[in-house]
Amino acid sequence: MKKICVILSVLIILAPSILYADDPLNLGAKTAILINAETGDVLYSKEPDKKMFPASTTKILTAIIAIENSKLDEKVHIDNETPSGIDGNNIALEPGEVLSMNDLLHALMIESANDAAVAIAKHISGSVENFSKLMNDKAKDLGAKNSNFLNPNGLPDENHTTTAYDLAMIAKYAMTNDVFKKIVGKTSYTIDPTNKKSEPRVLKSQNKLLFSDNKITVDNKSVPIKYDGVNGIKTGYTIAAQQCLVASVDKNNHKYISVILSSDSTNIYVDIHKLFNFAFKNLKPVKFVRKNDFIDNVPISNGSSKFITCVYANDFYNDNGNISNDNIKKTLVINKNLKLPIAKGQVVGKVNFEANDKIIGSVNVVSYSDIVYQNSILKNIKSYFIHKWWIWFILSLILFRLCVSIINVSRRMNKLKTLNAKQKRLRDSKNK
């Protein structure tokens, strides 16, 4: 009996290390993921599909929906209900206050204001419930497989859940939007006085990866929390969710996104450092295609050119060591209903990269040159004469001979007139 008890005691003590024995990074978070921000390729994961509480990382989805469904200078009117009963971070919105969508988006993503999230949701969809439906539809479109969003700010609800994988897919998409990317990369922002506030509101970022010189210990080394190349995106915390963080890094022409869910204040930034260090130290990205490399000539009607010369808009890297470049299939997809004119550098489609029957990434395709509309009849005539150069040569010879003949005839006529005039003068002189 004693032996059994001793064995059970040892198993209990070793349980955590057994549970995470396959975790080479020894992360403190319950779930985590690291992806290539351009391809979506999963480079590391720890229970990525486990349903978790996302806390304020929910606001990533709220923000991108708002950006795509409104204008930044759009005026948002605060109703009587929104300012009351909002827990957690807020910017003290007042009934009847009017702010721009731009100000509310900065409050949402920099200050993590829960009242701003509700104001945005009501402005876009009329109610939090309707906005939640929009959130879930958008999440599914972006590849989120196990999410259920019930509010725009991530405040506790036992049915408001997502996964590390789903948040990574949402973040990957959001970071392709220039407006979103610019906002989440800021460390501060000032909202000017409004019709209800006489003083400006100064917002401070919650994401210490962007600015903090405080030290943490990562792999026995003391380093600043600030991580070189980090350009966003969102922190989160509730008692139920614990510390959550979605982070993006863009360094040395490589882009990665990490998601940490259910960590603690000590380990949250350590875990992110470990994930990004793993990406930059251990992954060996191989350039698969280069920006401006030729792809194909795609026929187009009624243009100044018969074809759109398609080239890559960006480089594409394969940083999955398990997939060789030889095993990656390329598929060109041209946008439907392309209309002339087409400008040089205009996106006209994309190339999907597939491996093992799965799309591992894509790169936009752009036109290499300007193409303007040209009437097909005039174009055909022009094309005919350009390509039938010998006709131009013969016509030029004929025209030259014609001009010479006209000149010669003109000279003869002038000589004849001169001769006739002389003869007339002679006759006139004899008659006198």
For residue 199, count other CB atoms closer than 10 A to its CB: 9
For residue 127, count other CB atoms closer than 10 A to its CB: 12
CB 300 within 8 A of CB 340: yes
For 130, phi and psi rounded to 5 degrees?
Answer: -65, -35
Active-site residue 198, yes or no? Answer: no
Write down the catalytic residue from 46, 70, 100, 112: 112
Please name the helix (run of DSSP H) or strand (run of DSSP E) that holds residue 344, with its range, or none: none
Nearest to 83 by CA among 126, 122, 131: 122
Strand-pairing partners, residue 232, are 248
3-state per-residue secondary structure call for 212-238: CCCEEEECCEEEECCCCCEEEEEEEEE
Active-site residue 382, yes or no? Answer: no
Write down the catalytic residue from 46, 59, 122, 255: 59
Inter-CA distances, 32 with 29, 258, 399, Å: 7, 7, 80
CB 385 within 8 A of CB 391: yes
Active-site residue 59, yes or no? Answer: yes
Backbone region of residue 92 per phi and psi (left: phi > 0; alpha: psi in -120 to 50; beta: other values): left
How many whole angstroms separate alpha carbon 366 and alpha carbon 312? 6
Which residue blocks in 292-388 are alpha helix, DSSP H? 376-387
Positions marked catalytic? 56, 59, 112
